[in-house]
Amino acid sequence: MEKCYESQLLADVDWLAKQAYLADIFATFNDLNTFMQGRMASCFTMADKIDGHKRKLDAGKSRVARDCYDMFRQLSTIIGDAGEDLDITSLRNVISEHLTNLADRFQFYFPPEEDPRKGNGWTRNPFIPLQD
């Protein structure tokens, strides 16, 4: 049985691609988290950001299905450098499954029926007509 050392992983382009994807996705979550802790954050601006992040995850799934990885900067660099050595089909499946799970978790923790913006648009703009 052959031992696997951490240094060997740095030569594995499939492993590096997954790490690059994780770095990119964690960067987007870090940006969201940082915004939500800001001084001027309100439940309305947070709901806007969360909604935008949900749309970003959906867009990511759609783009990954077409083998378009440009919204993941680190991953795009690895893919460009790896060439034929990278198993892109396996990578696509892993990323697609992960983005689907993330989108499901967002729907679970931030369900649309609990959106604080529903029926409260007048607090942002008192001049908009009320909806029945």
- Indicate the SS3 state at residue 26: helix
Query: Does a structural domain hold residue 4?
Result: no
Q: Which domain holds residue 69?
A: 11-112
Task: Residue 17: count other Cβ atoms within 10 Å of its Cβ.
Answer: 27
Q: CA-to-CA distance for 14 and 107, rounded, in angstroms? A: 30
Side-chain-facing half-sphere of 29: CA atoms under 13 Å: 11
pLDDT at 59: 94
Query: Does a structural domain hold residue 130?
Result: no
pLDDT at 123: 60
Q: CA-to-CA distance for 101 and 61, rounded, in angstroms? A: 11
Query: Does a structural domain hold residue 58?
Result: yes
**Measured CA angle at 49 (ends 116, 40), to 5 deg:** 80
Query: Does a structural domain hold residue 117?
Result: no
Q: Per the structure, how many domains does the chain have? A: 1
pLDDT at 50: 86
Query: Does a structural domain hold residue 97?
Result: yes
pLDDT at 102: 94
pLDDT at 112: 75
pLDDT in tens, 59-112: 999 999 999 999 999 999 999 888 788 888 999 999 999 999 999 998 888 787
